[in-house]
Amino acid sequence: MSAGALAETRAAANRAALARLHAVRPQWSAVVRARDAVGLPDFTLLHAGPPFEDPVGPPPPVLSSAVLACLHEGWASTEADAQRLIASGKVRLVDAQSYRVVVPLAAIVSPGTPLIEVTDAAAPNDPRRRAWSMFGSGAGAQIRFGTREPAVLERLRWRDNVFVPLLSDALANGPIELFPLAAAGLAGGDDLHARTTAATAALADRLALPAAHSILSQSPLFFLTLWMAACHLMMDAAANDGSDPDATLVVALAGNGREVGVRLAGDPSRWVTLPAAAPRGPRIKPGSTESASPLVGDSGVIDAAGFGAQALRFAPEPADALAPWLPAGWQSAQPALLADDWPAFAGLRCALDAAAVAAHGTAPLAAIAMIDAAGRAGLLGRGLYTAPVALFLAALNRR
């Protein structure tokens, strides 16, 4: 096939994928335990990014979170016992996206984990139009930071016993549409990845619960995992089980702490991976010397959908914080990597296109935080990840 014919074939496939993406209307419909939502069996844990080559030896931040998950589930009574379960393979580590779940950073989903369920208001009864992400645990120590802090277990118990019932009751009146909240976030200076303060505040107003408002005001990133699930749902609809095999839209951009991987709409079941570098950015403690982990987390799907680092032009606060790490000319170079305009969000483009990355030779950006590579110190600061052009070339060449 000539280069011109290939380009037109890909363009036609992408148009079909974009039509499906634009038809989705994500809504937060429920909070469901992972065992009930996706049939997650006991002694199985879900992690971010592509599958591990060696699931019994995950990188330290993921191992730390997995150890705490084993303790939280009651599968082990000590860290050493939990680590032995993982090393023996009795506790299995499986990539979350194979279950249509997305998790932030080094977080772990276990069978009892409450999940945000996002469905498509345009097809509410279609079982293929569902996606899940983690329910946040408020302010304080977080399992997504990949540490062994005992305070994380306290936050998980509080989440399960206090926060989940509170917001589950709020959903009794029906699903909550997410586009209006995202639009409020963008209007209020959010990029919807590094910053979701305005979108979280809009959610608190929508819930109209004083107790929830108080908690969410202290948890400005709560909207993040809702938007992760929404973006996963939309990109999954674009893929539509690979019904347009020539489509080159990026439906997943994620890391597992060792490898960075992408999946394309034309062949969504296949990961293409390369060794991952670490995000770079401003540190919470200036001058701290901990090494940042290679990319870990599923939240790059937000940037692949056209938000996050692809929306920093609308988010002056995170853009200023990340300015020293942004490449020259990013304001004009990054939009050229996206396939279309967002009908729902004026001025914003959508859908990272691997073919456009290859044609321009420009590395796409994603706004993903830095965490400690040793799995001890936790969150180091905001981060900016530069996805290598070679990764997208490899994905195109393997099709």
Whether 335 and 203 share a structural domain:
no
CA 175 to CA 138: how far, in whole Å?
A: 21
The whole-number pLDDT of residue 303 equals 98
DSSP string, 349-370: EEEEBHHHHHHHT---EE---E
Residue 399 pLDDT class (50, 70, 90 cuts): low
Q: Which of 196, 229, 262 is the last residue of a domain?
A: 229
Q: What is the CATH number of the domain that holds 182?
A: 3.90.1710.10
Give the range of the structural domain holding residue 311, as residue numbers without chain letter.
Answer: 3-22+240-397
Whether 100 and 195 share a structural domain:
yes
Whether 138 and 265 share a structural domain:
no
pLDDT tens for residues 115-143? 999 999 999 888 889 999 999 998 889 99
In a domain? residue 71: yes
Q: What is the arithmetic mean of pLDDT over 81-108?
A: 98
Whether 148 and 244 share a structural domain:
no
The whole-number pLDDT of residue 125 equals 86
Q: What is the arithmetic mean of pLDDT over 233-238?
A: 98
Whether 75 and 133 share a structural domain:
yes
In a domain? residue 253: yes
**How many percent of the chain have pLDDT more than 90?**
92
Whether 267 and 186 share a structural domain:
no
CA 349 to CA 337: how far, in whole Å?
A: 9
In a domain? residue 297: yes
Q: What is the CATH number of the domain that holds 348?
A: 3.90.1700.10
Q: DSSP assignment, residue 158?
A: H
Asked if pLDDT for residue 198 goes beyond 80, the answer is yes
Average model confidence (pLDDT) for the chain? 96
The whole-model pTM stands at 0.97
Nearby residues of 303 by Cβ (< 8 Å), 6 or more positions away? 193, 253, 309, 310, 352, 364, 365, 366, 367
Whether 192 and 335 share a structural domain:
no
Count of the separate structural domains present in the chain: 2
Q: Which of 191, 209, 229 is the last residue of a domain?
A: 229
For residues 300, 301, 303 and 307, what is the CA-based torsion angle, rounded to 10 degrees? -130
In a domain? residue 235: no
Q: What is the arithmetic mean of pLDDT over 392-399?
A: 88
Q: Which of 207, 229, 251 is the last residue of a domain?
A: 229
Whether 208 and 247 share a structural domain:
no
Asked if pLDDT for residue 252 goes beyond 90, the answer is yes
Which run of H or of E encompasses 79?
Answer: helix 79-88
Whether 259 and 312 share a structural domain:
yes
Whether 380 and 323 share a structural domain:
yes
Whether 248 and 210 share a structural domain:
no
**How many percent of the chain have pLDDT more than 70?**
99
273 phi, psi to nearest 5 deg: -130, 160
In a domain? residue 234: no
Whether 57 and 105 share a structural domain:
yes
H helices present in 194-345, as ranges? 197-207, 210-217, 222-239, 300-304, 316-322, 330-333
**Please, what is the Cα angle at 277 between 272 and 279, to 5 degrees?**
115
